[in-house]
Amino acid sequence: MPPPKPNICCAGCSKKITGREFLTCSLCNGVYDIECVNYSNKLFSIMDKEKKDRWQCPACKSKQKKMDNSNTPVGHRMHLNPGASGGDVGFSDESNVTLRRPLAESQQQCTSDEASSPVDDPLLATIRREIQLSVAQSVESTVKKYFSKEFSEIKSELAALRELRNSMEFLSEDYDRIKSDLKESQEKVGFLSKENSSLTSKVTDLTNRLNLIEQHSREMNIEISGVPESKTENLLSVTRQLCTVVSVPLQDTDVLTGTRVRKMNENNDRPRTIIIKLQTTKKRDEILAAVSRFNKINQKDKLNTSVLGYGGKKSPVYVSEHLSPYNKALHASARKAAHDRGYKYVWIRNGRIFVRKDDNAPAKQIKCHDTLTNL
């Protein structure tokens, strides 16, 4: 098989075959690409030189006679023309009927054609089946391995999703329960808040009423502070002596009872306060007015233990209305606030507390601790 000339095209597909594998027909010398004549590279490589030299293209093979027809009735009337070109076909002078070659020559030609045909078609089919089977098995193994891994990951993710779903359901149930409890708690808090406001208002009202009652029960009492204590003391005599000093007559019938009360601070060394319960509020007001008048007259020597007849160190004696615990605490706070804010006067009248900034300012009543913030 001589190499093709440059730029020779395939007789089948008309493509250039320079540098590619090809077959040359032994009859028509046509050059064919092995792909056009359905030859594989493997089959082409195992063909020997003799087979390649005897190879015939499909067009030439299709023109060959397949069998002898000399024994037909027509054949007996024909004879072979010795002068026919190529010796293959002869024509009768009488009928112009084409005569076929003898059967032996036809069989020899078929044998030659079979020898030139690809004898390795079963091998190719076997190789093709083996390749297909190998590829199918490889693809199946690869697909199984791939999907097995993917399915394993999917199963793992599904298990995680199930756990997550269970957790979410559990959390959802807890959330619903907490939400319900929160709503119920909010309702209870709202109810308790209203009830607390109502109770606070009631407690404030009751506290004020109790304070009024306590103060009312003390309206005929006077409170004397700073009088030294003595085991043999007579509080009625002490009160009478005080009234004599401030020039107020006091009868025995004017005093109902007298006692000393416990100190709020046990560590305080001042003597306990004396509470004198009088017969009337009129007598109480007389004593308080007389004490105030005495202190104004004696600015340098106000009421003290010395003028009451007590020896030793001289200490002041104070006489005031007997206040309830609430009013007493309020009075102490009022005195401190008045001192801080520059108020000049703080006094008590009938259980009520008043303050005044100076001589020209109006008096202000202190009813509660909130009032002190507005001074």
Q: Of the candidates 6, 48, 43, 1, which has an alpha carbon nearest to the alpha carbon of residue 22? A: 1
CB 363 within 8 A of CB 349: no
In a domain, 2, yes or no: no
Indicate whether 6 pLDDT > 60.
no
pLDDT confidence of residue 21: 77
∠ at Cα 298 (296, 299), nearest 5°?
70
In a domain, 29, yes or no: yes
Same domain, residue pair 247 and 305: yes
Same domain, residue pair 210 and 224: no
Could you tell me which residue, 111 or 334, shows the higher pLDDT? 334
Domain count, the chain: 4
Same domain, residue pair 64 and 88: yes
Q: What is the mean pLDDT of residues 32-59?
A: 81
In a domain, 139, yes or no: yes
Same domain, residue pair 235 and 188: no
Pairing of strands 98-99, 255-260: unpaired
Instruction: Tell me the two tokens of residue 333.
Output: 């706070």
Neighbours of 323 (CB within 10 A): 22
Same domain, residue pair 158 and 184: yes
% of the chain residues with pLDDT over 70 = 82
Same domain, residue pair 241 and 293: yes
Q: How many CA atoms lie within 13 A of 71 on its CB side?
A: 5
Average pLDDT, the chain: 80
pLDDT confidence of residue 78: 41
pLDDT confidence of residue 7: 65
Same domain, residue pair 106 and 160: no
CA distance 58 to 12: 10
Picking from 97, 117, 137, the residue at the C-terminal end of a domain is 117
Same domain, residue pair 101 and 138: no
Same domain, residue pair 191 and 235: no
CA distance 154 to 239: 103
CB 331 within 8 A of CB 353: yes
Return the DSSP state at 149: H
Same domain, residue pair 110 and 163: no
> Residue 292 is part of a domain; what is its CATH number?
3.30.70.1820
CA distance 212 to 239: 27
pLDDT confidence of residue 202: 92
CA distance 103 to 7: 43
* CA distance readout (Å), 38 to 12, 22, 58, 306: 11, 11, 11, 149
Q: What is the mean pLDDT of residues 72-91?
A: 42
What is the domain range of residue 233? 219-322
CA distance 289 to 276: 16
∠ at Cα 267 (262, 268), nearest 5°?
70
In a domain, 374, yes or no: yes
pLDDT of 48-79, one tens digit each? 878 888 888 888 887 776 555 555 444 444 44
In a domain, 11, yes or no: no
In a domain, 236, yes or no: yes
pLDDT of 223-244, one tens digit each? 999 999 888 889 999 999 999 9
Same domain, residue pair 64 and 130: no
In a domain, 3, yes or no: no
CB 260 within 8 A of CB 284: no
Please state whether the predicted TM-score (pTM) of the whole model is above 0.75.
no
pLDDT confidence of residue 157: 87
In a domain, 156, yes or no: yes
Return the DSSP state at 371: H
Instruction: Tell me the two tokens of residue 82.
Output: 């010795």
CB 253 within 8 A of CB 246: no
Picking from 117, 149, 179, the residue at the C-terminal end of a domain is 117
Return the beta strands (E) in 67-204 as ranges. Answer: 90-91, 98-99
Picking from 202, 217, 232, the residue at the C-terminal end of a domain is 217
Most distant CA pair in the chain, distance: 195
Tokens 């020039």 -> residue: 247
pLDDT confidence of residue 24: 85
Same domain, residue pair 61 and 98: yes
User: Considering only 2-6, 17-21, 346-350, which range has the smallest mean pLDDT?
Assistant: 2-6
